[in-house]
A = this chain, B = another copy of it.
Amino acid sequence: MDWSIQEIAKLAGTTSRTLRHYDDIGLLAPARIGSNGYRYYDAEALVRLQRIMLLRELGLGLPAVADVLEREERAPHALRSHLEWLVREQQRLARQIVSVERTIDALEGGERLMAEQMFDGFDHTEYKEEVEQRWGADAYAKSDAWWRSMGADEKRAWQQRLASLNADWIAAHERGIDPAGDEAQALAQRQFEWLRGIPGTPGGGAAGPSREYFLGLAEMYVADERFGANYGGVDGARFVRDAMTAYAEREL
């Protein structure tokens, strides 16, 4: 009337190791244990095991399974919580799937792992006049010399860092968050840190860009469509400006 550990494992479609584990954690004890230490299971244990397997196939964890078996009336509640879990997981996977597909498409379109052919925030030949006009020939010269001194890899590094930041700005804007909120302010902080790495920024160096320079840039993003394009259009640029302005008011 009872079975050895392997027999019951086969009956229920599992392994003896699993049964030992369930015994260890107190989820399913054998009906009796022989004087030789062998575990033997009876029909009652089999039913319990089959219920365990059923719940496990639904994706419940062992603590949840134990909970349900202990008091069966909790089953609906436990299952509903679990269902929410599953739905959230599925949505997360759906988002990842979309992202991966987009990334594959981008790679096949010849792009690299992070867009680097995007707007070059340091194309000083293009912005020479504006920079000299606003912050002086000296600032331009220092910044330009620093930029020219970098190797291709380093340049790409900076571009990619900017690319990532810009992508995050766009995503933040798309989600419609508050420019003065924590998330947007964290982005403004990153923007600040990024600028901090560039010699020649007024008030720059370790201290970071000056309040005026920072605010000036923010306005430039809105005023100049060449910048605005990096943030998904003028609306995006306004969002960035608002966040940067709030940041400057608060921190600089």
Interface residue? A164 (CB, 8 A): yes
- A47 to B154: give the CA distance in the assembly, Å: 9
Q: A79-B104, A112-B72 are in contact. Are A161 and B50 (CB under 8 A)?
A: yes
- A86 to B96: give the CA distance in the assembly, Å: 8
**Chain A window 53-90, contacts with chain B (Cβ cutoff 8 Å), 1 for yes, 0 for no:** 01101110000000010001001100110110011011
Interface residues on A, range: 35 or more
Pair B75/A101 contact, Cβ less than 8 Å: no
Pair B99/A57 contact, Cβ less than 8 Å: yes
Give the segment of A19-27, A129-137, A189-197 that binds chain B. A189-197
- A252 to B156: give the CA distance in the assembly, Å: 72
Interface residue? A97 (CB, 8 A): yes
**Chain B's nearest CB lies how many Å from the CB of A193?**
5
Within 8 A of B (CB), among A33-52: 43-44, 46-47, 50-51
Pair A90/B93 contact, Cβ less than 8 Å: yes
**Chain A window 123-161, contacts with chain B (Cβ cutoff 8 Å), 1 for yes, 0 for no:** 000000000000000000000000000000110111011
Which of A94, A158, A160 has the most CB atoms of chain B within a 10 A radius of its CB? Answer: A160
Pair B113/A157 contact, Cβ less than 8 Å: no
Instruction: Enumerate the 3 nearest inter-chain pairs by beta-carbon distance, A residue then B residue, closest first.
Output: A43-B157, A47-B157, A90-B93
> What are some 12 contacts across the A-B interface (CB < 8 A)?
A1-B197, A10-B190, A11-B161, A43-B197, A44-B154, A51-B114, A55-B113, A75-B107, A76-B108, A83-B104, A89-B93, A93-B93
